Amino acid sequence: MKKILILGAGIYQVPLIRAAKRMGLYTIVASIPGNYPGFPLADKVCYENTVDHEAILKIAREENVDGIVTAGTDVAVITIGRVCDALGLRGLSAEAAEIASNKLAMKSRYEEYGVRTARFRKIPFAREDYEELLEGLEFPLIFKSVDSSGSRGITRVDSPADFREARHNALENTRSDYFIAEEFIEGDEFGAQAFVQDGKVEFILPHGDYVFRGDTGVPVGHYAPFETDRACAPDVREQLEKAIAAMKLDNCAINADFIMRDGKTYVLELGGRSGATCLAELVSIYYGFDYYEKILRVALGEHVDFRAIKDDSGRPRLTPNASMLLTSDRDGVILSQENRNDPSDPDIVQIQFDYAPGDSVHAFRVGPHRIGHVITKGDTLGAAVEKLHQALEHIDIRVAGEA
């Protein structure tokens, strides 16, 4: 029986853990202790912090695992790179993982490899001679801590009056002694899921993002295909392939963030793991295969076929789909959850409630405040999106608390 070590036990690792179990793998889950839904599904649980690469390496060694992987989180990626290097397991390298986990390292690579990205500068926290440091950049800018995720430590800077607060925000969200300032790209944000295996980009699936406008944009849903402008597809592919090469990403899933401005793709960042917020499901539904299973098989060292399933005439059958998080508009306790959708509707792929009545939830501001999700499909993207809105209308979650 093969052994897989999965890092994280949260909502975005649960489907990966389930897939591992379905495949008959001995499934070890490592995570800090907490009320995480992945624990009861695992064959074995190790209560370790997934960023503690020494501790995770020790587990991987002692258990003699055949693979190590995660889904939907950047936090554990450096550990995966280090363990793969140390034990000769299949997965991204420590070097690639480190580049992916530092925005300055990543952007410097992009610049070196000619990837189109916002112009940027490194700013040591110790220096405040911004005029000199920002020479050549134009407002608006965006200040970013280099080693955080989920929009933490990121502030838009419209004029020098915003410098102090933006620097402070970066400082509060970093372990580094510098941050980066980059030009703000005014355009349409979108993303892509991709996979690279033995140096070959196996697929690139651009997707549209539904964004909640809080302090910064937070993705709350996605849809595919993303075809607002077919003419741009070759440019997306070119920039993504260059970025993958620049970061030396290999044998891993890729979660990419882009902005489209004037028909040109700007790369914001790439992560060496599959996306959260129903993005792995988006890949599975679109191509008609189980993406989690493929991610696991690559981690176990198999050579995996990523081609879409075919219809009767031998053409790839691609299924449009859409998803949305369920959220609360207030902090409080769930009173009731009602789903009035037809359970036999084939185009409602999944409706998930993360909590039960009596549980406390947050007013939505960031991704982890989600309280569930809905995923739909259709013959066309329009049908999938319409089904999504219908399905959402037939869900009522009542939360007691102050709005």
Ligand X SMILES: Nc1ncnc2c1ncn2[C@@H]1O[C@H](COP(=O)(O)OP(=O)(O)O)[C@@H](O)[C@H]1O
Starting from the edge strand earliest in sequence, which strands make up the sheet with 154-157, in order? 120-124, 178-183, 141-145, 154-157
Q: Quickly count: other Cβ atoms within 10 Å of residue 220's Cβ.
A: 21
- Under the criterion CB under 6 A, does residue 216 sit at the interface with ligand X? yes
Q: Which two tokens stand for residue 261?
A: 């401005």
Taking CA atoms, 285 is separated from 4, 274, 336, 378, in Å, by: 24, 14, 30, 10
Choices 50-58, 143-151, 294-302, 359-367 (CB under 6 A): range interacting with ligand X: 143-151
Q: CA 159 to CA 23: how far, in whole Å?
A: 54
77 SS3 class: helix
Residues of span 262-281 touching ligand X by CB under 6 A? 268-269
Angle between helices 291-299 and 279-287 (to 10 degrees): 100
In the complex with ligand X, which residue's Cβ is closer, 87 or 105? 105
- Which member of 102, 151, 352, 390 binds ligand X (CB under 6 A)? 151
- Rounded-to-integer distance, Cα 106 and Cα 112, Å: 10
Site for ligand X in 87-116 (CB under 6 A): none
> Using CA atoms, how far apart are residues 290 and 396, in angstroms rounded to an integer?
30
Q: Give the nearest distance from C-beta 152 to Mg ion in angstroms.
A: 10
How far apart are alpha carbons 77 and 242 in whole angstroms?
21
Nearer CB in complex with ligand X: 270/351: 270
151 binds, among Mg ion, ligand X, none (CB under 5 to 8 A by kind): ligand X
Omega before residue 140 within 30° of 0, cis:
yes
Q: How far is the CB of 6 from Mg ion (least distance, A)?
A: 23
Shortest distance in whole angstroms from residue 216 CB to ligand X: 5
Residue 63 or 257: the one with the smaller Cβ distance to Mg ion is 257
Residues numbered 65 to 84 that lie near ligand X (CB under 6 A) are none
Quick one: tokens of 235?
Answer: 């440019």
Per rule CB under 5 A, is residue 359 in the interface with Mg ion?
A: no
* Amino acid identity, position 314: G
> Does 150 engage in binding with ligand X (CB under 6 A)?
yes
321-326 and 217-224 strand pairing: antiparallel
Give strand ranges (E) for 247-318: 252-261, 264-271
Contact residue for Mg ion among 257, 331, 354, 359 (CB under 5 A)? 257
Binding span for ligand X by CB under 6 A among 47-55, 166-174, 183-191, 370-378: 183-191
Report the residue number, 8 or 320, with the smaller CB distance to Mg ion: 8
Region near ligand X per CB under 6 A, out of 181-189, 273-281, 338-346, 384-392: 181-189
> Does 217 sit near ligand X (CB under 6 A)?
yes
Binding site for Mg ion (CB under 5 A): 257
Binding site for ligand X (CB under 6 A): 118, 142, 144, 149-151, 154, 182, 184-185, 189, 216-217, 257, 259, 268-269
